[in-house]
Amino acid sequence: MAVMTHEPTGATPALAATLDLVGPRLRRVREQRGLTLTEAALETGISKSTLSRLETGRRRPSLELLLPLAQAYRVPLDDLVGAPEVGDPRIRLKPRRVNGRTVLPLTRPGGIQAWKIVIPRTQSEPQPRSHDGFEWLYVLGGRMRLVLGERDLVLGEGEAAQFDTQVPHWFGSTGEGPAEVLSIFGRPGERMHVHDDQDMMGPAR
């Protein structure tokens, strides 16, 4: 991992190319976390002007700047700097508990995001919400309840649904048992197209 602790002099072309990619990554991760430059400055103690210069490439990244940013954005340092695209291609999956569910991230931050979600039987009380984006759900095991606007649906193993997340929505257990779900989420402009001659949603319940 190439991280400079001072302004580099005589950087190799490969190193310069790596450092040039840090700025766009910083901006993308910050926006994915829903933070403004002002909020990021308050979180990290780094001035707003410095953050702006880092994101636009007018200032080279240093370890003392990247460490607090990685902590504030809750990502590994490698995700900000960019590990070389060589070696072991496997992603190290680290499950975590989120609102009582087990969530296993399948992608790195940036672009379309994918998760495997294990929903316990007790997660059966709808709490609809809405936000920008587009989501695709696929039931890996068990039965999943999906509330989408005024529709109340149940999807079984092998069934999928796709929808605009600006529509109030919630998905969870039917109360009969746990469910395993694959979730793919894209922000506006990253909509996933799934072609199927059959209805992507199960019958209304």
Token pair recorded at residue 162: 């796709």
Tell me which of 32 and 180 has the higher pLDDT: 180
What is the C-alpha separation between 117 and 150, in angstroms, rounded? 24
Q: How many residues appear in the chain? A: 205
pLDDT for the residue 196: 46
**Residues contacting residue 177 through CB under 8 Å, at least 6 positions apart:** 121, 142, 143
* Residue 56 to residue 202: CA distance in whole angstroms: 46
The secondary structure of residue 143, as a DSSP letter, is -
The pairing of beta strand 96-98 with beta strand 160-164: unpaired
Distance CA 79, CA 126 (A): 34
Which of the residue ranges 2-11, 16-25, 85-94, 184-193 has the most confident prediction, judged by mean pLDDT?
16-25
Domain 13-81 has CATH 1.20.58.2030: no
Terminal C-alpha separation, the chain: 52
Which of 11-15, 55-59, 132-136, 197-201 comes out lowest in average pLDDT?
Answer: 197-201
Query: Which residue did the predictor score with more confidence, 51 or 7?
Result: 51
Residue type, position 12, single letter = T
Tell me how far apart the alpha carbons of residues 93 and 108 are, in angstroms, rounded to a whole number: 10
Rounded Cα distance, 180 and 31, in Å? 29
Whether 121 and 173 have beta carbons less than 8 Å apart is answered as yes
Sign of CA dihedral 40, 42, 48, 53: negative
Contacts of residue 87, defined as CB under 8 A and 6 or more positions apart, other chains included, come to none
Provide the β-strand partners of residue 105: 115
Q: What are the residue ranges spanned by the domains of the chain?
A: 13-81, 96-186
Does the domain made of 96-186 have the CATH classification 3.50.50.60?
Answer: no
- Split at pLDDT 50, 70, 90, the class of 117 is very high
Instruction: Please write the tens of the pLDDT for every residue from 54-82.
Output: 888 888 888 788 888 888 888 887 777 76
Mean pLDDT of 141-162: 94
